Amino acid sequence: MIHAIIIEDEKPARDLLVKYLMESSKEVHVEAKLTSVEEGKKYMAQEHRADIIFSDIQLADGYSFEIFKNLSSEIPVVFTTGFNEYMMNAFHFNGIDYLLKPISRDDIENALQKYLNFKNHFTTKDAKLEKLIHHFENRKKTRLLVRRGLEHIALKMDDIVLLYTENKMVFVLDNKGNKFIGDKNLTEMEMDLDDSVFFRTNRQYIVNINYIKGYKPYEKVKLLVAVDLPDISHKIIVSQEQAPVFRKWMYEA
């Protein structure tokens, strides 16, 4: 059973949302229908069984973000609004989707599916926000800003072979063997990459699938990756924990 809470101050929109939820899944049970920021704060402060919240952003007495600002619990929220200017704010308040009115039943079905897909990711706040923001911005960057000396260079993602750490610095290697310096740490840079193309093999390396020639077993439980680039001296090892994920990633590429 999925226990849902609706926060919407307009009755027609509220009734339509309930209707679409009921039609989308028999597993959804609407626990509460709230109409204001104040009502939302009071309800969320008490014991409840909410698994997911559907909330309008602009309510009669303020923005619904105020309801979620100081919550200790991590409940995913599907925000609804007639405007798209609040999108990035929404993702900082446990938002997993952002629906522009008028909302259709397909919108609700897709939002419920996203909730199910991300259900297991709601563990720690920092990890969750990074994953969700990266996923729902839905903007795959085509270039990565790097440095060489005093020069800043917009390097094409397609030309990047490796990103790696060395002596507490992050370096980017392109397909011509050029070496650049990254302005962020490796984890932050990973969030700018398309995870269907780039893979974090271990704490030190991220590799582009388009330059992988193959891989073989290494120390029984690890994998050694061969990269299609001459004069490369890096030993790219897939950790024991990542090896099954890497195989699956390569198989589905």
Written as six digits, the tokens of 134 are: 């990266």
Domains of the chain (ranges; CATH) run 2-137 (3.40.50.2300), 143-252 (2.40.50.1020)
Query: DSSP string covering 175-236, please?
Result: TTS-EEEESS-HHHHHTTS-TTTEEE-SSSEEEEGGGEEEEEEETTTEEEEEES-TT----E
* Residue (of 166, 191, 192) closest to 179 by Cα position: 166
Question: From CA 111, how far away is CA 176, in angstroms rounded?
Answer: 43
Written as six digits, the tokens of 116 are: 């199910």
Written as six digits, the tokens of 75 are: 């409940």
pLDDT of residue 136 exceeding 50, the answer is: no
Q: What is the pLDDT of residues 72-115, one digit of tens each?
A: 667 888 988 876 555 545 555 567 788 888 888 888 998 888 88
pTM of this structure: 0.48
pLDDT for the residue numbered 182: 92
pLDDT of residue 125 exceeding 50, the answer is: no
Question: From CA 11, how far away is CA 248, in angstroms rounded?
Answer: 47
Question: From CA 12, how far away is CA 15, in angstroms rounded?
Answer: 5
